[in-house]
Amino acid sequence: MNAITIVIASMCILMIAYRLYGTFMAVKVLKLDDSKPTPAHELNDGKDYVPTNKWVSFGHHFAAIAAAGPLVGPILAAQFGYLPSLLWLLIGAVIGGAVHDAVVLFASMRQKGKSLSEVAKEELGPVAGFCTGLAMLFIITITMAGLSMVVLHALEKNPWGTFAVGITIPIAMGVGIFYKKTGNLKLASTVGFILLMIGVFAGPSIQETALGDWLTFDTKTLALILPIYAFFAAALPVWLLLAPRDYLSSFMKIGVFIALIIGVFIINPSIEMPAFTEFIHGGGPILAGPVWPFISITIACGAISGFHAFVGSGTTPKMLNKWSDIKVVGFGAMLVECLVGIMALIAATALHPADYFAINSAPEVFRTLGMDVINLPALSQEIGLNLEGRTGGAVTLAVGMTYIFTAIPWFENLASYFFQFVIMFEAVFILTAIDAGTRVARYLIQDFFGEVYKPLKKVDSVPASVFASALACFMWGYLLYSGDIGSVWALFGVSNQLMASIGLIVGATVILKIADKRRYMLTCLIPLAYLFATVNYAGYWMTVNVYLNPEAAGYNVLNGILSIIMLVLGIVILATALKKWIEIWNDPGFQMEAKSA
């Protein structure tokens, strides 16, 4: 199997799905009607609710949903072989992810751009709304830990990478200040990107200096630094750090993956990983569980992701200019993210399997596999870094992309620069997600606990903001400090896919209320049935075999308790929904409303 075959076939499938299934969802199921004003027009305040060009909305939405998930998930799941990952990415994105994102966006716009917990309260009742809000708080906390875990081994004892990533903070702040004072976005962007490149190319000169020694951290130190950084980042004004970094990283993401696609077409690397490995039945060095259900919780973003519901019921529904833009922004952006996941999978599976497992397994675990590395020693020498045992996915993506790029004669001597650039590229996205996610967690904490202590609910209160930010950082920071990539990423996967299940439950309810034909509800029920069974079995498996098993490497009682709580919340929400569906099904008034809608 070669990479070009996979890329061309995948792009054709995704384009056909968008043209046919996307149109069916927009016209027949959701009945998008541009004659009605969107919330952006109805509530236009020039601040949060602003009618926006669909391609600008697409760019914002894509940048928000396509963080580290579609890069890391496929790389970790490559343990099972390239075929399970490829099939789940394509089937999951078309049948599940694109539908989920479109219906959540539609459901939020139908309720004037409210959050998913508020939408659940309106559509399913107060019990479901409360459980959804609590689940969202758990899920955003676990998401921050899962994403942060990816950075740790990439920057571990890597002063060049730490410097390149760290320098992005003052650069982004400088861009934010310059743009706010001058309004010259083009100049700010150009200068910001040039400075980012200088940061990468200046890395070698600081490695053997006192600054390089000071920037050489182990994983435990990095696990303390990241939450402390996030506490301050969440408290800074959005325009000062979050917005300019998000803007600059969007250019990097688009540019890097266009370059990767071009590189694949020039080099056409062969896929070294077999279609299926011996670990499909479990016992793998990266993920302990079997291919099902773990393929579907390891690859979330890129196939279907509940984290998208935070965006689809957050900023995006307040921006769409027309109802029909849901097809491009909701359905279309998910399919593009699927392509990003496929490119990450190619970068990982183009490596020799022994090299892949040497990077993603602890050295003592890799020795038990009986494999001999092939290209890794030479790559380590060219990059100037020991690559073995750097789990988490980020290093594998950087090595895989470097392996492809340096096969082009012009770039054969730039391996170290390519590697550190990709590390910075990944880390900047993750830090952007950490900034935004911690801020969202702060709002959720203030909103949730503000019901008990009213002053905490004031978003503009400095003490309330400091307390909520500190609590958010402590919660995900503790999970980060005490976990490993196998256990934390699995916990993230379970929580994330539970959130997607909740999004599909809400979407199915809305479709049942408004669709002309009841069977259109199957567009949500089919992926929901698979995902809900997958999530509950995966949560049960991890709780019994890992989190509450003292003999397991990922033994962690807190993770087990969190898993149980989340699964119970999901069951309560589904039970509430089933009751609501029966009421709607038996009430002819709802069908009259659907036909007149």
pLDDT confidence bin for 448, thresholds 50/70/90: confident
pLDDT, greater one: 479 or 519:
519
- pLDDT, residue 495, reads 83
- pLDDT, residue 532, reads 94
pLDDT confidence bin for 511, thresholds 50/70/90: very high
- pLDDT, residue 249, reads 65
Asked if the model's pLDDT at residue 208 lies above 90, the reply is no
Highest mean pLDDT of the ranges 103-107, 263-267, 541-545: 103-107
One-character DSSP codes across 339-387:
HHHHHHHHHHHTS-HHHHHHHHS-HHHHHTTT---SSHHHHHHHHTS--
- Mean pLDDT score, 366-371: 84
Given a contact cutoff of 8 angstroms between Cβ atoms, the answer to whether 472 and 442 are in contact is yes
Q: How far is CA 124 from CA 120, 503, 529, 585, in A?
A: 5, 12, 18, 14
The identity of residue 178, as a single letter, is: F
- pLDDT, residue 446, reads 79
Q: What angle do CA 84, 88, 90 make, to 5 degrees?
A: 120
Give the residue among 177, 71, 120, 126 at the shortest CA–CA distance from 433: 71
Q: Please name the residue that has the structure tokens 């950084």.
A: 229
Burial of 429 (0-12, 13-18, 19+ CB in 10 A): buried
Query: What is the percentage of the chain residues whose pLDDT exceeds 90?
Result: 21
Q: Which residues pair with 270 in a beta bridge?
A: 2
- pLDDT, residue 530, reads 95
Asked if the model's pLDDT at residue 206 lies above 60, the reply is yes
Q: Please name the residue that has the structure tokens 């009421």.
A: 583
Asked if the model's pLDDT at residue 145 lies above 60, the reply is yes
pLDDT confidence bin for 84, thresholds 50/70/90: very high
Report how far residue 217's alpha carbon sits from residue 476's, in angstroms, rounded to the nearest whole number: 20
Asked if the model's pLDDT at residue 520 lies above 80, the reply is yes
Report how far residue 322's alpha carbon sits from residue 187's, in angstroms, rounded to the nearest whole number: 32
Q: Please report the sign of the dihedral spanned by the C-alpha atoms of residue 255, residue 257, residue 262, residue 266.
A: positive
Query: What is the percentage of the chain residues whose pLDDT exceeds 70?
Result: 91
Question: Can you give the C-alpha Rg of the chain in angstroms?
Answer: 23
pLDDT, greater one: 250 or 351:
351
* Tokens matching residue 558: 């807190």
- pLDDT, residue 178, reads 82
According to CATH, the superfamily of the domain at 1-156+216-592 is: Amino acid/polyamine transporter I (1.20.1740.10)
- pLDDT, residue 392, reads 67
Cis peptide before 293 (omega within 30 of 0): yes
Report how far residue 259's alpha carbon sits from residue 273's, in angstroms, rounded to the nearest whole number: 22
DSSP state of 321: S
Beta strands in 387-490 (DSSP E): none
pLDDT confidence bin for 562, thresholds 50/70/90: confident
Report how far residue 581's alpha carbon sits from residue 12's, in angstroms, rounded to the nearest whole number: 37
pLDDT confidence bin for 16, thresholds 50/70/90: very high
- pLDDT, residue 239, reads 61
Q: What is the dihedral of CA 80, 85, 91, 97, to 10 degrees?
A: 120
Q: How far is Cα of residue 520 from the mean position of the Cα atoms in its chain?
A: 28
- pLDDT, residue 486, reads 57
DSSP state of 486: H
Give the residue among 315, 327, 393 at the shortest CA–CA distance from 154: 393
pLDDT, greater one: 415 or 280:
280
pLDDT, greater one: 52 or 32:
32
Report how far residue 357's alpha carbon sits from residue 355's, in angstroms, rounded to the nearest whole number: 6
* Tokens matching residue 87: 């099939």
Asked if the model's pLDDT at residue 592 lies above 60, the reply is no
* Tokens matching residue 242: 């979050």
Asked if the model's pLDDT at residue 421 lies above 80, the reply is no
pLDDT confidence bin for 171, thresholds 50/70/90: confident
DSSP state of 64: H
- pLDDT, residue 413, reads 72
pTM of structure: 0.82
CB atoms within 10 A of CB 208: 10
- pLDDT, residue 241, reads 64
* Tokens matching residue 260: 């990767």
Asked if the model's pLDDT at residue 332 lies above 80, the reply is yes
- pLDDT, residue 85, reads 93
Report how far residue 530's alpha carbon sits from residue 554's, in angstroms, rounded to the nearest whole number: 26
Kindly report the average pLDDT of the chain as a whole number: 82
- pLDDT, residue 68, reads 67
The identity of residue 25, as a single letter, is: M
Largest CA distance in the chain: 76
Asked if the model's pLDDT at residue 83 lies above 90, the reply is yes
Domains of the chain by residue range: 1-156+216-592
Q: How far is CA 439 from CA 50, 189, 231, in A?
A: 21, 24, 9
Report how far residue 73's alpha carbon sits from residue 299's, in angstroms, rounded to the nearest whole number: 4
Given a contact cutoff of 8 angstroms between Cβ atoms, the answer to whether 426 and 398 are in contact is yes
Given a contact cutoff of 8 angstroms between Cβ atoms, the answer to whether 168 and 151 are in contact is no
Spell out the residues 6+ positions from residue 216 whose beta carbon is closer than 8 angstroms to its own: 157, 158, 159, 162
pLDDT confidence bin for 246, thresholds 50/70/90: low
- pLDDT, residue 166, reads 82
Asked if the model's pLDDT at residue 204 lies above 80, the reply is no
- pLDDT, residue 23, reads 95
